[in-house]
Structure 1
Amino acid sequence: MLSQILEEIFIRDLAILREEILRYDDEESLWIVDGEIANSGGNLALHIAGNLRHFIGAVLGGDGYVRNRESEFSARAVPREKIIAEIDAAAAAIRAVMPGLNKEILEETYPIEVFGRPMTNAFFLTHLATHLNYHLGQINYHRRLTANRKM
């Protein structure tokens, strides 16, 4: 049941992320940073997709995805369609992995220690859902803040 709930939340929020990226005025606006705003909407979207593809698709699903976390934050001027493709790939990884996570698997220890301590798959997947939502809010705010504005 929890895996179905989390899958629904991941897919819902990735669809919202996709729409947020499409709602930016133009591709240039995706990459605006200013003062204390160190991460652009484009970088945050790449980070969300890379994070989910790595921790769910690769670690739990064994799909072979190799993450480049540094690039998630350093990339600039990635075309919007490439960002959308990354979001769609994250959604595909979630759809492939989450249905196979039964109650017993959710209670097992996540295969790697992300925060320097062991945690269950259920705990870490819940963390990933809240992490996605945290950054989704940042992207929404960034998009509205940068609307009709060039840096």
Structure 2
Amino acid sequence: MLIETLQQLFDRDLNKLKSEIESYQNEKSLWVIDKNIANSAGNLCLHLIGNLNWFIGATFGKTGYVRNRELEFSQKDVPQSELIQRIEETILVVRQGLDALTEEDLKTDYPIVVFEYKTTTTFFLVHLTAHLSYHLGQINYHRRLLD
């Protein structure tokens, strides 16, 4: 049951991410930073894609994805259409990764120690939904302020 809930939340928020990226009227605005805004919407989008492809896709879906976190924040001017395509691919990767889990798997330790302590798989997947939602809100504000 929790896996279905997580799938619904990731699906909802990744589709909202796609909608936000599509809503930029000026493609160059995706990469604008201003004053105290340290990360562009484009870089936050790349970060979310990398994060989920690594922590769900590679870990549970065995996709072989190799993450380059630094590039998520340094790469610029990826076309809007490519960001949208990557989001669509990430939606599928997340679905497949979560489909590989059982309710029993959720009770085990997440296979990677991400924080300074071990967490259960449930805890870490809930954390990932909150992380996605947090950056999705930042992207929404970025678009409304700078586009």
Is the structural similarity TM-score above 0.5?
yes
Q: TM-score, normalised on structure 2? A: 0.97
Structure 2 CA distance for aligned equivalents of residues 98 and 79 of structure 1: 29
- Cα separation, 2, equivalents of 1:52 and 1:97: 10
> Structure 2: which 5+ runs fail to align?
none
- Aligned pairs, how many? 147
- 2:87 maps to 87
Gaps of 5+ in 1: none
- Offset from partner CA, 1:71-95 (integer Å, 9 cap, x none): 1100111101111122112111111
Whole-Å separation in 2 of the counterparts to 1:84 and 1:67:
19
Match of 2:31 in 1: 31
For 2:69 and 2:60, the matched residues in 1 are separated by 18
Aligned position for 2:54? 54
What amino acid does structure 2 have at the position aligned with 1:28? K
| 1:99 positional shift | 2.0
Measure how far apart 1:32 and its partner are.
0.5
| Bigger shift: residues 13-22 or 57-66 | 57-66
Residues 81-136 of structure 1 deviation map (CA, whole Å, 9 limit, x = unaligned): 11112211211111111123211100010001000211111100000000000000
TM norm structure 1: 0.95
Which amino acid counterpart does residue 144 of structure 2 have in structure 1? R
How far apart in 1 are the matches of 2:67 and 2:84? 17
Percent identity at matched positions?
52
Per-residue CA deviations over 1:12-67 (Å, capped at 9, x if unaligned) read 10000000000011110000001110100000011111100000000122110111
- Distance in 2, matches of 1:83 and 1:101, equals 27
Whether 1:7 aligns to 2:7 is: yes
Runs of 4+ in 1 over 4 A off after TM superposition: none
